[in-house]
Amino acid sequence: MFPSATSAFTTYASISASLMLFRSIFNDLIPYPLRRHLLSALSYLFSFCSDKQTILVEQSDGIEPNHVFNASEVYLGTKISPQTKRLKVSKRLKDKGLSFRLDKGQRVTDFFQGVELKWRHVCYEVEKRGHRGDSNVVERRYFELRFKNKCRDVVLNSYLPFVLKSAELIESEARVLKIHTLGNSHYASKFKWESIKLEHPSTFETLALDLELKNMIVEDLNRFLRRKEFYRKVGRSWKRGYLLYGPPGTGKSSLVAAMANYLKFDIYDLQLENIKSDSELRKLLLDIANKSILVIEDIDCSVNLHDRTRGHKRSGQDKQFTLSGLLNFIDGLWSSCGDERIVVLTTNRKDRLDPALLRPGRMDLHINMSYCTMQAFRVLASNYLGIEGDHRLFGDIKELLEGTKVSPAQVAEELMKNEDADVALEGFVSFLKQKKMEDDELEKVEALKKLEIKESREPKMEHKPLKKDHTLPQMVE
């Protein structure tokens, strides 16, 4: 009545070989777009005859990331079951615990108010062709959510909002500040954001700035955070622009880190020299999350942004990245694509910047990061040497700092040379005296050069000699 084991195995092997051959022919002879449409049609045919409904949660909505997809990925990481065979596990340094993500093709079943919800993570690759004929393979992902038709209202009105709220709480509990930078995409020769944990210890308490300046910056940040409704009322994007300018080593990067630690905002470090076009810049900037700080350091020398009124391109390149493209995101129509963002530009030479970057509405607050003052020195002495009050050498140091240009970075370097406060401060006094002598000598040299230049530009008076036959007037007796 039953076939033999050999016969059953032969039949199974024949069917498997036929299926594999059919699959190979199907994949090789039918282009991917047509295959996808055929599979979609079959799926629609089966779903038409079923009492199930399917919702697709795409990774992006046009060129903007889909917040529902990101929230679903975070939420489903907490719903892993023993039936899930493949997981992505990660843990960054100093993270509170492991992070779990579904691998492609894996399924998770969830229950909400008695409703069974089945999730599936789908990944596929799409070949995109550029205008020059070059092609790139891009990975696309989406989540597939299936449930009974009668539960549609519960899923749309209650379950999906619950997923969004749950993901927000999960991320808030495991909040880790990150710094994002540009990295090459695995699937295309373009850049995308890659992140690493932000571990910069700078805070406003440890920042070597004058107290009045620090209080002004903190108050400005607090006012920005609480004025969401005000920005909407006046029709402006909820963002704030800061220009940090001053000599090297005056703490511009440390101030950015202190702002991020104070606000609990991620940092996005944008290197303009990597950007090829305005469209690429827009895509990168749209990928920036809310509650973030976009930083463009040394903007005066990081890239040669040509004048907006001229049509020439950067020398040696056929790229279309312009100053107008950057300004459009900072203060144009694209600036409304995101909330609660801060844009920080840093430069050593403010006078080299295009005036269009400096006007209010783009760079709202200009902060001069100057040389070290006595107030800033007291903060550094407290940070590095533990000196909270006065010291016998503070009077000499104050007098020397008033006549010497020294950056906080130079001060910190000197204070780190010895752990003994007296020895370190004595060495710092010697450093200031030497620095003052060098500065005075340099000023004398510069003054002499200016005098020589001035004399060389002044017209010289010509003195004509007296003629030999020149006679003196006769004297009258």
> For residues 294 and 292, what is the distance between their CA atoms, to the nearest angstrom?
7
Question: Average per-residue pLDDT in the chain?
Answer: 80
| pLDDT per residue as tens digits for the range 222-241 | 999 999 889 888 888 888 99
Q: How far apart are CA 383 and CA 409, in angstroms?
A: 13
* Spatial separation of the C-alpha atoms in residues 74 and 447, rounded to whole Å: 65
Model confidence, pTM: 0.65
Q: Taking 80 as the threshold, does the pLDDT of residue 47 lie above it?
A: no
Tell me what pLDDT residue 6 has.
72
What does the pLDDT look like over 406-454, one tens digit per residue? 999 999 999 999 999 999 999 999 999 999 888 888 888 888 888 777 7
Identify the H or E element spanning 211. Answer: helix 211-225
Name 266's bridge partners: 292
Closest to 240 in 3D by CA, of 291, 282, 204, 288: 291
What pLDDT is stored for residue 126 in this prediction? 73
Query: Going from the N-terminus, what domains does the chain have, and what CATH number goes with each?
Result: 26-176 (no CATH), 192-310+319-368 (3.40.50.300), 374-454 (no CATH)
The 10 Å Cβ neighbour count of residue 62 is 8
Residue 385 has pLDDT above 90, yes or no: yes
pLDDT digits (tens, 9 = 90+) for 398-419: 999 998 889 999 999 999 999 9
The alpha carbon of residue 233 and the mean position of all alpha carbons in its chain are separated, in whole angstroms, by 28
